Amino acid sequence: MRITVNGESSQIAAEKLAAALDELGYGAARVATAVNGEFVPAAMRADHALCEGDRLEILAPRQGG
């Protein structure tokens, strides 16, 4: 299916969020996720089903003020 990952369109085969992260190359990365603007905790990624057109945000720790 086609989803938007961090603002860019992506074609993925995975149906669940955890699998999609693997497929997109985030593997064991220290990231947090949100789908369509809603936070999805790490513990729920394995069960979270993705749908065509979903907007996935993948964030990591960064500098800040």
Partner 1 sequence: MNIDATILGAGVAGLSVAAELSARGARVRLIDPEGAPGPLACSWWAAGMLAPLCEGETAEEPVVRLGREAAAWWQAAGAAVTQAGTLVVALDRDRGELDRFARRTGGHETLDRAGVGALEPELPDRFASALHFASEAHMDPRAALETLQRTLAARGVRIERATPPQGQIIDCRGLAARDRLPGLRGVRGEMAILRAPGVGINRTVRLLHPRHPLYIVPRGDGIYMLGATQIESEGRGPASLRSVVELLNAAYALHPGLAEAQVLEIGADARPAFADNLPRIVRQEDRIHVNGLFRHGYLLAPALARMTADWVLEGNTSEFLQ
Partner 2 sequence: MPVFYGVEIASPLMLGTAQYPSPAIMAEAFHRSGAGVATVSVRREAAGGDGGAFWDMIEGLGVPVLPNTAGCHSVREAVTTAHMARELFGTDWIKLEVIGHEDTLQPDPFGLIEAARILCEDGFRVFPYMTEDGILAGRLLEAGCEVLMPWGAPIGTGRGLNNLYGLRTLRAQFPGVPMVIDAGLGMPSHAAQAMELGFDAVLLNTAVAKAGAPAAMAEGFARALEAGRLAHEADPMEPRDMAAPSTPVLGLAELE
CB of 31 to partner 2, least distance (A): 5
Q: Tell me whether residue 2 or residue 46 sits nearer to partner 1 (CB atom).
A: 2
**What torsion do the CA atoms of 40, 42, 45, 47 make, to the nearest 10 degrees?**
-100
Give the span between the Cα atoms of 14 and 18, in whole angstroms.
9
Site track 4-33 with partner 1 (rule: CB under 8 A), x = hit: --xxx----------------x--------
Bridge-based pairing of strands 2-5 and 8-11 is: antiparallel
Q: Tell me whether residue 9 or residue 64 sits nearer to partner 2 (CB atom).
A: 64
- Site residues (vs partner 1, CB under 8 A): 6-8, 25, 60, 62-63
